[in-house]
Amino acid sequence: MSRLDGASRPTIAPPRNPSVPSGPRATAGLRTHHLVALLVIAHAPLMLLWSVMPAAWAHGRVVATPLVFLLAGLILLAYVVGYRGLGRQIRHTGGLYAQVSLGLGRAVALGTAALVFVAYLGIAAGFYGLLARIMETLVASVFDIDLSPTVALLIGLAVILGAVRLPLRVVVWIAIVVAVEQLVGVIWFDLVALNTPAGDSVSFDALDPGWLLSGSFAVGLVFAVTAFVGSEVSTSYSTELANPVRSVPKATVLSYVLTTLILVFSAWAVSVAVGPENAAAAPGNGESLVPALVAQFAGVGGQSLAIDLVLINLVIGLFVTGVVINNAASRQVAGLARDGVLPSVFAVKAPGGEPRVAATYVQPALAGLIAFVASFSETGVLAQWLIVAAGLAIVGSLTLASAATALWFLRSEAEEGGFFGWEGQVIAGLTAVVTTGGLFFYGVFQIREVAPGAPPMAVWLVPLLIAVVFGAGVTYALVLRGSKPDVYAAIGKGLTSRERPAPAPVVPPPVPPQQHWR
């Protein structure tokens, strides 16, 4: 009996997951502020200012773009509120797929795992290409050396491949230093922008809700939501946290809040410096919007030095971001291996430990290959519409995770008290389903509106790719259910082969006694 039929059941504590570290090992894990640093640097603050924010201005053409970023942050906070209670049941490195398994079942969970993994391959490939492109510009400016896109890409991949084996605690402290340094740079830019307003007066038009419909609000909101991709990986570190019940939702909320503040305040500062309507009319992808302002703020004599310093910080931030994204991806691979879905060579060495070497090199090897092929194009990066499609796939996965949260609370016997009781978390989950689901379907089926450079075939190719990848994961789960029921039963639970329940023995039917006739 469940909440669906209105019955009240006593609270039942969930059984302890054998894969969860306990005792001294657990208390030595990462803390909330460590996880916040990893989530923040997953979308480096300076990259948000340099690339993501101008792209939202240029594609959405919404004068009130700062408010669009604010709405995007509120949408994703609804997901976190819904996750809060369900997260107490998760001690799994698989991330979103473990969450989906609790509410929507194992087959949908493996479909989600396949979709997330392939989406992050696309995002990482585009990221590597962008890193190579910025390195080209930096090396040409500082050393007057022309690097080909392929050479720049190989150098970037070599650095990331060497850094992915750093212990997680070392990566955490590097992330903290780089995140703080970049936040200081972003704050400096914003304050200078507000101090040099266009027309000698600070404009608040970009914060006026009446300007939300001045352009394509839906397109702007899709870009804004995909800007937050990366903060949903917090559950991947659940087995390495001292207190995952507290740290995962709290760190996710803090990272979303911080990212929202950066995007809202920086977008408003840019609108003040150039004029709100001028910012919304930025040419192309808005790539020249922030560089032009940096050059203007530095003055005639310091323009070259200022741009070089920004590019150096961008490259450093992108390297750390690459390592953090790969850490999350390797933990998902290790989680699938621990469940028996993938070979054990990818699993963690011990409960609560870090993934094996093979798991850490899966994503950079595959994404690097994709980026290498793309490096022969004119831009040296993956087509933007493919990167946008990958971000939309993550948004669709958040929709499934939110639906899983709502269904889990409706069926669960555990009680949730406080301001966000189980009713509030169901409402938050359903709200996130409607908002993220609506953005996912709009972006996928209107990909040429979201990414104007997309070819005509993108209209059917993007939904087809997403459906094929998701369907492949579901099909694999159904195959496992028939061929390896013990592995299928362990999906999302993080059990080793020794911890999985043995399949029930086959008992032959009783043989009737023979009748002896005289």
pLDDT in tens, 385-409: 888 899 999 999 999 988 988 888 8
Residues in the chain: 518
Positive or negative torsion for Cα 329, 333, 338, 344: negative
**What pLDDT does 353 receive?**
66
Cβ pair 347, 500 in contact under 8 A:
no
| Token pair 């639906």 in the structure block, residue | 403
**Alpha helices, DSSP H, located in 96-230:** 96-104, 106-143, 149-163, 168-195, 217-226
- For residue 488, the one-letter residue type is Y
Q: Residue 23: how many CB atoms within 10 A of its CB?
A: 7
**Which letter does DSSP use for residue 368 in this model?**
H
**What pLDDT does 495 receive?**
47
In terms of pTM, does the model score above 0.75? yes
Q: pLDDT grade, residue 11 (50/70/90)?
A: very low
Per-residue tokens: 306: 């200022």
Query: What does the pLDDT look like over 55-91, one tens digit per residue?
Result: 888 888 899 999 999 999 998 888 887 776 676 667 7
Rounding to the nearest 10 degrees, give the CA dihedral for residues 113, 55, 134, 49.
-90
**What pLDDT does 512 receive?**
57
Tell me the C-alpha distance between 391 and 378, whole Å: 23
Range in 52-61, 280-289, 412-421 the model is least confident about: 412-421
Cβ pair 396, 232 in contact under 8 A:
no
Cβ pair 469, 118 in contact under 8 A:
yes
**What pLDDT does 16 receive?**
44
**What pLDDT does 352 receive?**
61
Tell me the C-alpha distance between 78 and 256, whole Å: 11
Q: pLDDT grade, residue 315 (50/70/90)?
A: very high
Q: Name 203's Cβ contacts closer than 8 Å, sequence gap at least 6.
A: 197, 271, 272, 275, 276
Q: Which residue has the higher pLDDT, 506 or 427?
A: 427
Cβ pair 382, 452 in contact under 8 A:
no
Q: pLDDT grade, residue 430 (50/70/90)?
A: confident
Phi, psi at 241, each rounded to 5°: -95, 145
Helix (H, G, I), strand (E, B) or coil at 241: strand
| Mean of pLDDT values over 274-289 | 80
Mean pLDDT, the chain, rounded, equals 82
Tell me the C-alpha distance between 388 and 399, whole Å: 17
Cβ pair 93, 335 in contact under 8 A:
yes
Tell me the C-alpha distance between 284 and 294, whole Å: 18
